[in-house]
Chains A and B, each alone.
Chain A
Amino acid sequence: MSTSITTNGTKSATVAKGNKAGDAATWADERLGLAKANKLMSLRKVFPDHWSFMLGEIALWSFVILLLTGVFLTLWFKPSMGEVSYQGSYDQLRGIQMSEAYASTLHISFDVRAGLLMRQMHHWAAMLFIAAMLVHMMRTFLTGAFRKPRELNWVIGGLLLLLGILEGFAGYSLPDDLLSGTGLRIADGLVKATPVLGSYMSFFMFGGEFPGDVIIPRLYIAHVLLIPGLLLALIGAHMLLLVYHKHTQWPGPGRTENNVVGEPLMPIYMAKAGGFFFMVFGVVALMGGLMTINPVWRFGPYNPAEVTAGSQPDWYMGIAEGLLRIMPGWETHIFGITMSWNIFLPGQIGPIALFAIVLAYPFLEQWITGDKSEHHLLQRPRNAPTRTAFLAAMITLYGLLWAAGGNDILATQFHVSLNAITYFMRGAIFVVPVIAFILAKRWCISLQRHDNDKLLHGYETGIIMRSPEGGYSERHLPIADARAYKLTARERDEVYQGVNGTDANGVDAPNARVDGLRARLSRAWFATNVQKPTVAELEEGHHHAEAELEYEHAAGLDHQADGHQYDGRHDVAGDDLTHKH
């Protein structure tokens, strides 16, 4: 054990008298018991370091930016569908009838200094917020960070993503321009496809027939109060659980399931995370200043009889759009009722099913693997091949649906038949994810084999040896202990065998069928994985390497080589290269 391990110090600190900050701290502690809070969450709380732990932080800081820029926008935005004649400074629209919502959005964009900047920063931050949540979720998934005891935090994260998307859609609808009105028109169609209640739900939502005059104020209060409140509460719960569970860490020398190794909240992470907030804020400000987003003045006010070709929603609605576009036009008309499968399935059942899978995933995996223990060390994606392959399939599906959501753009940009793209996608969403699954799984397994090769036979040095018989072979050298330890710091997978199918009297055990399914799934999950070498295998590998060495010596290679004696950098006589630490 090295001497570098530091603790939080053992000397007791006292608040110096006559020191202004100390006096203030004492004043506050006498009323709030602040020092006790340090017990709940120490100022020196340890966080482990890895670049991928920063993704969730981007989402958090984007949310803060959304709150700040959003408050600025509320100072001028008028959430009203009352009709006015535009008299602002944008020539092309002057004198045109429009809603107050659209007119005030134009006012913010053209007549309030920094208004357009804040609007564009708000929109870019929203894009970033959802993107960062999604990527953070993929990181959590790939590394197994959602496993016990963090399943509920995964569920909270899933709800945050869902709310984030709803919040984004509500915000997108507020300016009441042609594009956002078209989005609401599609939402109206989706709602109307609900069995039995569709037309009633639509009338209640819009306060009468679409578009009515209440949807913008209703969406506004949801966008600025209701959903942000829920988001804030859930983010709070997400962070509290993060503090309570302590952050996961990558395995490595000195890191175990029972500790967390890293740097303290104060001062390191206060500076790093605080600094990162300013970085994210700065990047969003540059994007808002230099990159145009949602130029509503070009689309004109909403008119239910007009639409722009190439209409596209914000990126995160892309997969819902894709589902809607490639669905065949199936409607059932029977007994005087209409069932719109073509809208109900892709527009309502599809997204709900997708979210149900996401939220239930930790529990499904736990049931299949039978794993009931706590996990604080992360897994490399290759060491959970089935899970990684599942995500690869889901990403593929996401990508295909996203592309399908822009089938018209693909058709015009690449001069391909729109119909051909749509027909292709209808089949591809079922076939391509399966191919991606198989490829990713095999890839993971071969990476696992590669790791074992390195452990057992060492790394490839690039030195080619010629034997007296004239055969050639490459020399391998053992890897450093720390690296070797890291490669073996993972658990062995255990296939669930299932209970015996029948009891002593030959009667089926209760739940035998479910249990059999679980055993089969567990086999499919784990059976092809490559396990890390055992102690015996590792020793045999080392013996083999030493035997090779002796053979080389016997063959007249009486000095060891790392290759550098050939390029003249140094003479290796006397070097011991076999166990370099």
Chain B
Amino acid sequence: MSDHHDLVVPEATEEPIANPGLPEHLPRPTDVDPVAEKRAERQVATLFGLSALFAILTCVAYFAVGKYDAFLGLGASNVALGSGLGLALLSIGAGLIQWSRKLMSDHEIVEMRHPASSSEEERSEAVAAFEQGLEDSGIARRPLIRNSLLGAMGALGLPAIVFLRDLGPLPGDKLQHTVWKKGMRVVQDVDGARIRPSDMQIGQLVNAEPEVFFETNSEGEPVIEGTELLQEKAKAAVILVRMHPDDIKPWKGRENWGVDGILCFSKICTHVGCPISLWEQQTHHLLCPCHQSTFDLADNGKVIFGPAGRHLPQLPLAVDDQGYLVATSDFTEPVGPSYWERG
């Protein structure tokens, strides 16, 4: 060991104080006092006994405590089972540790270390074996075989990647469109109730959705349901807000996107897509609860704070011949988080 160059042993001469060696072993009370020893033995056995008792009590509680009973606001069964199991486990653990600390021999043992590396002899043996193997294979002399094998292994990677193609469809233009279209009514998101401008007070916010989410076909089946409904909801959810018309400063071309101060914005944050609905009525600010991006709805949904990089897309509104709020088109830009080809 000492002949190995990697293991640098500090020279004794440079040490200001020599290593005094292991201290003397001092006996514990349980080593010398039979009474203490007996007491420790009883303690350990008691802990093991307690553990068995708690295990049995836990089983009793499984059947005895009602599934739906409450205890201190928690499920009574859960509390009983957790406490019983916990105490059974802790008692075993405490018993084992007490046994090892008080009764098992506590004499320290010295074991020598060896350097992590192999000896020179082992190394040269391994290298010789490797080289013999290499030589026997002739791989160094036959580059054609080596290179064609490497090529073949590389080519096998292709099917491994190509086979994953059907993990999902290509995005196509799905991220650029939602179910909103000209004449689609804007309805309450809870019950699908249609909304007239007069239903909304100044300062009010309504969570809304396109009416198609609540429509049924001739057999009474929903037009959109299941996964598709969630996918469309994740893009088409909107909020309606009513502000004082004088407060609104629409961009050019958006002057007629509102109805009597009622504007409609995408509810999906342009940062990473959380639904936004923390509304500050007096400032017209809308705050995302996930990462606190803040948008000014009186100013076209512009970002005024936080990590979002884009304004909230706005849905142009009008009133149909029955007096209900409707969209005049789809969103004019993609909603939700940005992506490379979004532009």
- A: residues with CB less than 8 A from B are 1-8, 44-46, 81, 83, 89, 110-111, 113-114, 116-117, 120-121, 149, 182, 185-186, 188-190, 192-200, 202-213, 244-246, 253-254, 256-264, 267-268, 271-272, 274-290, 292, 302-311, 321, 324-331, 333, 336-340, 342-343, 346-347, 372-374, 376, 407-408, 418-419, 422, 455, 481-482, 484-485, 488-489, 491-492, 532-535, 537-538
Contact = CB atoms under 8 A, between A and B. Distances in A.
B307 A325 contact: yes
Contact of A278 (B7, B89, B117): B89
A204 B167 contact: yes
Nearest to A491: B10
Nearest to A485: B17
B6 A535 contact: no
Nearest to A189: B272
Contact of A208 (B15, B19, B169, B189): B169
A574 B21 CA distance: 29
B340 A199 contact: yes
B309 A331 contact: yes
Given A261-B22, A267-B100, A329-B303, A210 B273 contact: yes
22 contacts: A4-B22, A5-B110, A46-B109, A149-B116, A190-B272, A192-B338, A196-B340, A200-B171, A204-B167, A209-B235, A262-B109, A267-B100, A275-B100, A282-B88, A282-B92, A289-B78, A289-B82, A303-B233, A325-B306, A329-B271, A342-B307, A373-B8
A254 B67 CA distance: 59
B141 interface: no
Contacts of B19: 253-254, 256, 485, 489
A281 B237 CA distance: 45
Residue in A185, A188, A281, A376 whose Cβ sees the most chain B Cβ within 10 Å: A185
Nearest to A281: B89
B62 A113 contact: yes
Contact of B273 (A89, A185, A195, A199): A185
A311 B288 CA distance: 11
A244 B116 contact: yes
Contacts of A343: 271-272, 307, 337-338
B209 interface: yes
Given A212-B231, A263-B109, A282 B21 contact: no
A346 B303 CA distance: 19
Contacts of B306: 325, 329, 422
A307 B16 CA distance: 66
B230 to A, nearest CB: 5
Contacts of A206: 168
Given A4-B22, A262-B109, 10 more contacts: A1-B22, A2-B23, A83-B227, A204-B167, A245-B116, A263-B109, A271-B97, A275-B100, A276-B97, A278-B93
A288 B90 contact: no
Interface string B271-313: 1111111100000000001111100000000010111111000
B234 interface: yes
Nearest to B8: A373
B96 to A, nearest CB: 3
A259 B189 CA distance: 72
B337 A188 contact: yes
Contact of A286 (B22, B86, B268, B275): B86
Contact of B93 (A110, A197, A259, A275): A275
A330 B89 CA distance: 53
A210 B234 contact: yes
B109 A337 contact: no
Given A192-B338, A311-B290, A45 B111 contact: yes
Residue in B18, B91, B291 whose Cβ sees the most chain A Cβ within 10 Å: B291
A189 B336 CA distance: 8
Nearest to A276: B93
B15 to A, nearest CB: 7
Contacts of A89: 68
A325 B337 CA distance: 15
A504 to B, nearest CB: 30
Given A2-B24, A203-B170, A208-B231, A285 B209 contact: no
Contact of A305 (B9, B20, B237): B237
Those 9 A-B pairs whose CB atoms lie nearest each other, nearest first: A289-B82, A189-B272, A331-B309, A275-B96, A254-B22, A278-B93, A4-B25, A282-B89, A282-B90
A204 B168 contact: yes
B112 to A, nearest CB: 5
Nearest to A257: B9
Contacts of B8: 257, 373-374
A322 to B, nearest CB: 10
Residue in B82, B164, B167, B207 whose Cβ sees the most chain A Cβ within 10 Å: B82
A269 B99 CA distance: 11
A277 B168 contact: no
Contact of B108 (A262, A308, A489): A262
A305 B79 contact: no
Given A246-B113, A290-B79, A290-B82, A205 B226 contact: no
